Amino acid sequence: MKITLLCALGMSTSLLVERMKKVANEREINVEIEAYSADDIDKHVETANVILLGPQIRYKKNELFKKAKAANTPIEIIDMRAYGSTDGEKVLDQALDLMNYTREE
């Protein structure tokens, strides 16, 4: 399972990625979590199981959601509070919920 986080340059989410990995390890969830620049979506949209966007790039939502939909990859904007507090547990749960929701459709 691969969770891809996209932000402006892929750097601001690095702490969040580390916290998400820690929670995944504690829960024994086998998941790959990486962060990239939103400009690199074309490189990752086909291989990601789910994509989460940093709330600071919300202005790119239409463009990025269109690409994700075309690839049939679930995508959502990270909860602003969880992002601001780098709450790895909450953001991991958001990604897992998004994948589960999509599978049930």
Distance separating alpha carbons of residues 68 and 45, to the nearest angstrom? 6
Amino acid at 99: M
Cβ-based neighbour number of residue 69 at 10 Å: 12
pLDDT at 73: 95
Mind listing the pLDDT tens digit for each residue in 39-95? Answer: 999 999 999 999 999 999 999 999 999 999 999 999 999 999 999 999 999 999 999
| Burial status of residue 68 (CB atoms within 10 A of its CB: 0-12, 13-18, 19 or more) | buried
Prediction pTM value? 0.90
Active-site residue, from 7, 35, 48, 78:
7
Q: What is the CA 61 to chain-centroid distance, rounded?
A: 13
Rg of the chain (C-alpha set): 12
pLDDT at 69: 95
Q: Are 53 and 76 in contact (CB under 8 A)?
A: yes
Residue 7 falls in the annotated catalytic set: yes
For tokens 């690409």, name the residue. Answer: 67
pLDDT at 9: 78
Mind listing the pLDDT tens digit for each residue in 2-34? Answer: 999 999 876 778 899 999 999 999 999 999 999
